[in-house]
Amino acid sequence: MTLLEIFPSLRSAMTPRLDPAVWPASTHVDDHDRITVAGVALADIADQYGTPSYVLDELDLRHRCRTYREVFPEAEIAYAGKALLTRAVATWVTEEGLSLDVCSAGELAIALSAGVNPRRIIMHGNAKTPAELSAARDAGVGRIVIDSHAEITLLAATLTRRQNVLVRVTPGIDAHTHRAVATGVTDQKFGFPLEHGQADEAVRRVLGQPRLNLIGLHCHLGSQITEVEHFRTAVDRMIAQMAQIRIDHGTILTELNLGGGHGISYVCGDPQLDLSSLAATLDDALDDACARHRFPRPRITLEPGRAVAGRAGVTVYRVVSVKHVTGGRTFVCVDGGMSDNPRVALYGAHYSVALANRHSIAAPAVVTVAGRHCEAGDELAVDVQLPSDLHPGDVLAVPGTGAYHHSLASTYNAVGRPPIVAVRDGRSRELIRRETVEDLLRREVSG
């Protein structure tokens, strides 16, 4: 019998195990002190589907889609499929009224196989191949975002009918904030810089192609942006450019796509982008910029990905060993790692970790949760507090793993990628099955 069973009143006085800013909204602790998501115990997920497994709260993801629609009622919201795209996810977001942006022929194929209306698809990519442009053309996607001069020529040469396009512009804004990646600065691979007339030249070339119907501009400032004022600056510069295009070419562009990059919390205390503040800022910035340039207000498109899927996901692992290094760290080694979550190694990302299969009253210990792969840098969480009585067989849960985990997963060390398990109303179902050794061997064509 545990102390909590003898004195139940202690439970309400304890520090909460789960920060509501980090975990799915449906996360709770059941009567057996196990963490549950959408009424399903994560320990049961581990037992039924194995570990590691990605767990995805369907209603949490749908709720975030609806929130965007409510906060930005006059804008188009296009879910950024690069964050996480399966047929089920494509179905959920479009059922909630969102469009979809894709950046490869593979993502386009997933969307089309889910029955997504191609007119609601935006095709991205800084190095689209001829085959990808042909696939987008043949599918009849609603918009293609032009990202290079070569793309202008190639796309125009293969079209048999007019195609709506946007020109991607880099507005020269460094939105590098808390753990952000900046893509709105001039010196990077995406788009055409406003500086030195490069965006102007791209617009001129597009307008010179009769089968390319330029309807707007696109920009993307980066990822994990939490300060709304960066978007005010973007609106000001983009409206100024659209007004100049009207002066130079007599063309009024009607769409302004401001991309995504909306920051979320991964650990307690992380800042996140406030959507209501963003909506007010965009509205004010548009009123001001359009009035100054006497330019008709364009339709706005936003492309959230992480902000829709990130917090809906939790990854479960099983502890394989606990290793105490004299004079050094304590390593809690689990059966996953950088093959299912490369973000720690790639970006120095930080995550919360919790014991999911039981509640411990042991003193906390500062540990490093390490992965199973043959790399010293294969660490999932460094200097996190977990109970000192952790042992092999325990189940750990890492929240905030709905975005850029399945999408970035690899088969390093010939370890198959985890399944995606959707949870809703106390039930679970596989969306993507676990990749097996047989799957890996099936790709071999000679020996």
Q: Is 76 annotated as a binding residue?
A: no
Q: Is 250 annotated as a binding residue?
A: no
In one letter, which amino acid is 263?
A: G
Question: Which H helix or E strand runs over 354?
Answer: strand 354-355
Tell me the catalytic residues: 374
Tokens of 358: 């039981």
Whole-number Å distance between alpha carbons of 427 and 28: 15
Q: Is 210 annotated as a binding residue?
A: no
Strands 255-257 and 299-302: parallel
Partnered with residue 165 across adjacent β-strands are 144, 214
**Contact (Cβ atoms closer than 8 angstroms) between residue 102 and residue 108:** yes
Q: In sequence order, what DSSP letters do the residues of 258-314 get, joined into one string? A: ----B---SSTT-----HHHHHHHHHHHHHHHHHHHT-PPPEEEE--SHHHHGGGEE
Q: Is 305 annotated as a binding residue?
A: yes
Strands 222-223 and 181-182: antiparallel
At 141, is the secondary structure helix, strand, or coil?
coil
Whole-number Å distance between alpha carbons of 373 and 338: 7
Partnered with residue 280 across adjacent β-strands are none
The residues near 208 (Cβ < 8 Å, ≥ 6 apart) are none
Phi, psi of 256 (to 5 degrees): -130, 110
Q: Is 58 annotated as a binding residue?
A: no
Whole-number Å distance between alpha carbons of 343 and 349: 6
- 52 preceded by a cis bond (ω within 30 of 0): yes
**Contact (Cβ atoms closer than 8 angstroms) between residue 398 and residue 381:** yes
Q: Is 351 annotated as a binding residue?
A: no
**Cα–Cα nearest to 381, from 421, 308, 330:** 330
Q: Is 208 annotated as a binding residue?
A: no
**Contact (Cβ atoms closer than 8 angstroms) between residue 27 and residue 397:** no
Q: Is 271 annotated as a binding residue?
A: no
- Give the largest Cα separation in the chain, rounded: 79
For the annotated binding site, the residues are: 261, 303-306, 343, 347, 375, 404
Q: Known binding site for pyridoxal 5'-phosphate: residues?
A: 261, 303-306, 404
Instruction: Provide the annotated binding site for substrate.
Output: 306, 343, 347, 375, 404
